Amino acid sequence: MNIAARLQGVAAAGEVVLSEDVYRSVADDHADLAPRTVMLRGRSEPVEVRVVGRVLDTRGDKS
């Protein structure tokens, strides 16, 4: 199962959702990220994730 794709599916627009494994690798710099428990399709148990607030689109308007 592709966990990354499932995490994208639970993210709101502009959010980045981190698995607990990824969060542990950046926790020293981002200890303020509160845990959230979500159900992912294909999993029978809930999964704890961390959400990196809203990410701004810095590409700008190219029109």
Answer whether residue 62 is part of any domain: no
Domain that holds residue 50: 3-54
Confidence of residue 37 (pLDDT cuts 50, 70, 90): very high
**How many domains does the chain divide into?**
1
Its pTM stands at: 0.70
d(CA 48, CA 35): 6
pLDDT for position 13: 85
Q: With 90 as the cut, is the pLDDT of residue 14 above it? A: no
Answer whether residue 49 is part of any domain: yes
pLDDT for position 38: 92
Torsion angle of C-alpha atoms 16, 7, 20, 33, degrees rounded to 10 = 30
pLDDT for position 22: 92
Task: Give the pLDDT mean for 11-31.
Answer: 89
Answer whether residue 47 is part of any domain: yes
Share of the chain above pLDDT 90, in %: 35
Answer whether residue 35 is part of any domain: yes
Answer whether residue 46 is part of any domain: yes
